[in-house]
Structure 1
């Protein structure tokens, strides 16, 4: 093996060694956290049978700037692909699954683009997020379409207790500036939280390759502004009504392939609103009725392109605790999708497509002694392609106080998008993409120590790809169900406390492949997926200071299976520090990509160079 190859692999080998060593020493302080995403009902994180992670406000504050995608790329199982800086188009792969294969919710509201397929990750702001719950692996038996690779649920801030004001501001190199403010609290039966934030940067040249002379050689910056509102009314001890709303706008510069050198921009708007009524009818019986709506609007300037998605959901969830028999859950749900896009030439009303899905689901959770079980089944009927049934079975067994082994099997699907159905490249015969997953996990938790390893195998059939010859109006090709993928791998995460140093790390060893025997790429790794990627973080307290550093590493990837072009591996170092200057005032420093390493997650698009940030946070007493 060459010395250069050995050097390139050292960070990943170090991450691997750490993850294995963490099997006996690991850090956790979140196992008593109550979560809802894994079963759609409240449950302790320590009892969850899925591969799950919870990110708190402390994790979010440490990230400091950027979008939710910048935080998630540092979590086990996640890979980020971005066409430039923080405001540019962004994709997230979870366990090797495509970006459209992750269901994304904000306060229970589904976020999805029926044009590009999947959530607009660059438009989900960090400033409005209080907590993130991540479930890896198929979850269509709970959430219906999209959840082939996993679920990411974002919760905005919620008020409680005395009024609290939180103010933050910060600056950095390349013109980075951000400001945020929030007020939250409770008055009588009313709790409230109102927050707003803005962030801007001059950015960097996202297309620096000399061969691309048609691109404007300038810095590609971005500006974002966002706000959220969460209002609760406790009508009685057993009844609560809640309104939540979020709005985000991103104005990002990019370089078009047009020969004329212009100031090309993308304008992204994401909105989500939900009203819910939660009732505790008896100590054992609870229910929730909700109506939610999200919209995704994407526009390019000066080139005239606008597309808008609207997703509306109606849901009734209930749970009934039967004591020793377990807990039953039920869900009735309706989802309505609309897409306005001039490319929808085959729709009944050109330029406008719509459809709906009606679903019924049931679940059962049970625990007795060391054994836990979870069963879920769901039937979705789509107005376009008909019905799909999904199910999941999970079990866990405690091997003493610290160890637990768990296993699950489940099925999933993703409905064809309205653009895939009705554009000039669409086909009426498109079928849902379907996944079938099996996984086995081992978890260790004792005091402040935690470690987990999960092996998974997710076979995805009827994958929809573009540029397939066939009977559609487009001369460039059609969308069709012609591919099959096998997503398999091993995920490790854990941490330890060694003297004054807190350590945590992740490691992903994966082989997401094209297994369609008729494909020219049969047996090859899917594009832009690394065989190995992971993180390693160290943190310690020195007086009033908290000092931290994190390594993010990825092996090489293939950018495009047709060209075979390879993207090099990379290793990045981030440093951060926080200090409480008083009870009300804190100071934060952060440096990302300390050594200014040049790398790409998509061919010919530069990734973020060194970024320095200094911030203040002030919580005045009212």
Structure 2
């Protein structure tokens, strides 16, 4: 079977769709004020909610001094193809790169920063890998287990320590409450894709519970197509399919009105096809095998009306293996934290003690098959609200067993100009610790040579927000400088052990690069003639500060526009995602064309218990690449049902 040839879309194919986007959002913004003035009765704001990720404590969204997005279960169930990364790219400031279909290596660039510069949490459990350059395994975080997602953009190391250079993405799994609740989902679609999930949740007295299981199978598509030459018998196009399974369990018990204990377990297994070369050998089926787990236990206590605390312990593991080509690496991260908050008049004092222990198992380490390190941290924050004014100050000290101590801090302030308008500004520092692989592999500094230092970031941003009823508008301008970026370069070859078989590309890891990430992000939403319109636009300039070249695989302009319409039992929606051209490499030697995708969805509520949904993704069957030589999914159709029987 031969896959169709897939080439990059030319920039001109993108120009028309993207050029129209600024005018569309400008129209939305201009209509917001007019729509509000025409109303006599205002509906409650759909974004009037509480978030915890921004400060590690409950805070009303209208008091958060950062660019925040909250994705709910409604947004998650609307997603048919792909995983968490595919969902995030519908939000502002996200750009993703995939080496083929779901299950293959996925990078998520938030505001143009590297994928490892975004901290990923699952119910507070840190998800990371210590192999290679690190970063979370985005491709192995299952959507079926997620109830809610909070995105906080900007430097957040003063709250979370290492990794939170560009922002934080925290996913929350399902939690039980009230009467027993059953839910079943199933679907079938293009590429031989089949999905199914089931969950049960609820509460009985002092005990609450939630259990979810999900599975997905797909024949997939050819991840690395090349121009087919019938005279070249060495090329055999194949299908790179995937299969995944995930499970989660949460149990909570209220000891009394002031004390509650909880345990959480989540597991996800992915087996996906990939091509080790553009022309795989006949009969060879290259496979990625990834197994991720998250375990946690915590005790939350309300000691008085003013004082509360939470004690937690967690462990995350990520095991990655390739077959038949033998490669195995495994990361284990353990964390212990005591987090407390004390109300002091109009303000709140947050205090934190935390310990993190990292362990890497990899056969190419100079320390044997294992390497480890630890970080101890102490942090404090003060949150103050005085009428129309909000202020926050965060400070944290991390001491690393390898490279010493780092102190980070954030200052933020906001002011309400009226009931609808608010301005805010923040500045902060952040860091990313080198991975254990970077420090202790054959490509890391050998004993006696200078150790790798942490990457360090300085971020400043200002924002303007409007919110009234169903109408929102937000503008954020940011500037994030990252120094001592760890790079693999020939100039460091003298710092690492000599290679047994020297190659022309031999090099080692060292603190080298400096990047500057500047950008403007615009997002808005309104209602017009019975339609719900929402969208975002991002102009970003992620550059190497020393060369002035753009960082690879990041579009300088991208945006999205979504339209929703309710018609009785029907919910209809459509979304356009548009991306400008990008360079495939940091030297800007190869350009990948821009592209625009149209995704459509329709949901029909048959009765209170049964809903049917139809998704058409990439409706015009666009061929495009986010990484040179790797195809993205063609047009897909997916039909599903969701059943919630009454108990």
Work out the CA distance in 2 between the residues paired with 1:465 and 1:609.
34
Q: Alpha-carbon deviations, 1:360-381, whole Å to 9, x = none?
A: 0000000111110000000000
- Cα pair 1:327 1:364 within 8 Å, conserved: yes
Match of 1:576 in 2: 601
Matches for 1:403-552 after TM superposition, within 5 Å: 403-427=421-445, 428-470=450-492, 471=494, 472-473=496-497, 474=499, 475=502, 476-516=506-546, 522-552=547-577
- Number of equivalences: 610
Over 3 Å counting, the alpha-carbon distance change for 1:375 and 1:613 in structure 2 is same
Work out the CA distance in 1 between the residues paired with 2:549 and 2:82.
33
Over 3 Å counting, the alpha-carbon distance change for 1:231 and 1:480 in structure 2 is same
State whether structure 2 residue 38 is matched by structure 1 residue 23.
Answer: no
Q: Unmatched 5+ residue regions in structure 1?
A: 517-521
Deviation of 1:15 (Å) = 2.0
State whether structure 2 residue 621 is matched by structure 1 residue 588.
Answer: no
- Tell me whether 9-18 or 456-465 shows the greater mean CA deviation: 9-18
Q: Alpha-carbon deviations, 1:459-508, whole Å to 9, x = none?
A: 00001111333221244110111110000000011111011110000110
Work out the CA distance in 1 between the residues paired with 2:126 and 2:31.
38
Deviation of 1:541 (Å) = 1.3
Secondary structure of the structure 1 residue equivalent to 2:364? coil
Match of 2:48 in 1: 32
Secondary structure of the structure 2 residue equivalent to 1:201? strand
Deviation of 1:289 (Å) = 0.2
Q: Given the two structures, how large is their TM-score scaled by the length of structure 1?
A: 0.96
- Cα pair 2:11 2:595 within 8 Å, conserved: no
Work out the CA distance in 2 between the residues paired with 1:30 and 1:317.
29
Work out the CA distance in 2 between the residues paired with 1:592 and 1:55.
20
Work out the CA distance in 1 between the residues paired with 2:236 and 2:489.
29
Deviation of 1:103 (Å) = 0.4
- Tell me whether 558-567 or 14-23 shows the greater mean CA deviation: 14-23
- Cα pair 1:28 1:449 within 8 Å, conserved: no
Match of 1:373 in 2: 391
Over 3 Å counting, the alpha-carbon distance change for 1:28 and 1:121 in structure 2 is farther
Matches for 1:150-165 after TM superposition, within 5 Å: 150-165=167-182
Match of 1:238 in 2: 258
Over 3 Å counting, the alpha-carbon distance change for 1:563 and 1:451 in structure 2 is closer
Deviation of 1:323 (Å) = 1.8
Work out the CA distance in 1 between the residues paired with 2:314 and 2:491.
39
Work out the CA distance in 1 between the residues paired with 2:261 and 2:627.
45
Matches for 1:197-208 after TM superposition, within 5 Å: 197-208=214-225
Among residues 317, 325, 342, which one is paired with 2:339 in the alignment?
Answer: 317
Q: Alpha-carbon deviations, 1:579-603, whole Å to 9, x = none?
A: 1001100000001100110000000
Work out the CA distance in 1 between the residues paired with 2:78 and 2:12.
32
- Cα pair 1:76 1:491 within 8 Å, conserved: yes
State whether structure 2 residue 136 is matched by structure 1 residue 122.
Answer: no
Q: Alpha-carbon deviations, 1:441-461, whole Å to 9, x = none?
A: 000001111000000000000
Deviation of 1:21 (Å) = 3.1
Among residues 374, 378, 384, which one is paired with 1:356 in the alignment?
Answer: 374
Q: Alpha-carbon deviations, 1:4-32, whole Å to 9, x = none?
A: 86663222222212333333445994432
Match of 1:553 in 2: 578
Match of 1:193 in 2: 210
State whether structure 2 residue 97 is matched by structure 1 residue 89.
Answer: no
Secondary structure of the structure 2 residue equivalent to 1:459? strand
Deviation of 1:216 (Å) = 4.5
- Cα pair 1:25 1:450 within 8 Å, conserved: no
Work out the CA distance in 2 between the residues paired with 1:614 and 1:572.
19
- Cα pair 2:430 2:457 within 8 Å, conserved: yes
Work out the CA distance in 2 between the residues paired with 1:343 and 1:406.
48
Match of 1:382 in 2: 400
Secondary structure of the structure 1 residue equivalent to 2:426? strand
- Tell me whether 42-51 or 140-149 shows the greater mean CA deviation: 42-51
- Cα pair 2:11 2:593 within 8 Å, conserved: no
Q: Unmatched 5+ residue regions in structure 2?
A: 1-9, 33-42
- Cα pair 1:28 1:450 within 8 Å, conserved: no
Deviation of 1:561 (Å) = 2.8
Deviation of 1:242 (Å) = 0.6
Deviation of 1:605 (Å) = 0.2
Secondary structure of the structure 2 residue equivalent to 1:315? strand
Q: Alpha-carbon deviations, 1:154-185, whole Å to 9, x = none?
A: 10000000000000000001101000000000
Matches for 1:267-278 after TM superposition, within 5 Å: 267-278=289-300
- Cα pair 2:146 2:172 within 8 Å, conserved: yes
Secondary structure of the structure 2 residue equivalent to 1:511? strand
Deviation of 1:39 (Å) = 0.5
- Cα pair 1:24 1:451 within 8 Å, conserved: no
- Cα pair 1:276 1:288 within 8 Å, conserved: yes
The Cα RMSD (Å) is 1.5
Match of 2:200 in 1: 183
Q: Given the two structures, how large is their TM-score scaled by the length of structure 2?
A: 0.92
